[in-house]
């Protein structure tokens, strides 16, 4: 599924494609580089039965 992400560094919006197993419940952490400034954005996802219920965007350099 495609999500619009606001970059932690430059605050521009870019697309991230996230594939989550429909039966998965839990948390995932992915790092995506911003398409505009190339800095890493850490996405922390809360997933319930394959649906993303919460996304936190943080500094991917940590």
pLDDT tens digits, 14-54: 999 888 889 999 999 999 999 999 999 999 999 998 888 88
Query: Which pLDDT score, from 0 to 100, does residue 32 have?
Result: 95
Structural domains counted in the chain: 1
The model's pTM: 0.85
Query: Which pLDDT score, from 0 to 100, does residue 48 have?
Result: 92
The predicted model gives 1-5 an average pLDDT of 89
Strands of the 26-33 sheet, one edge to the other: 26-33, 40-48, 51-59
**What sign does the dihedral 53-3-49-62 (CA atoms) show?**
negative
Is 1 within 8 Å of 10 (Cβ atoms)?
Answer: no
Query: Which pLDDT score, from 0 to 100, does residue 10 have?
Result: 98
Q: Which domain holds residue 8?
A: 2-59
Query: Which pLDDT score, from 0 to 100, does residue 19 have?
Result: 87
**What sign does the dihedral 9-13-16-21 (CA atoms) show?**
positive
């Amino acid at each position: 599924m495609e999500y619009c992400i606001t970059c932690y560094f430059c605050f521009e919006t870019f697309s991230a494609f996230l594939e989550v197993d429909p039966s998965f419940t839990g948390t995932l952490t992915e790092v995506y580089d911003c398409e505009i400034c190339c800095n890493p954005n850490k996405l922390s996802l809360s997933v319930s039965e394959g649906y993303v219920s919460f996304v936190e965007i943080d500094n991917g350099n940590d």
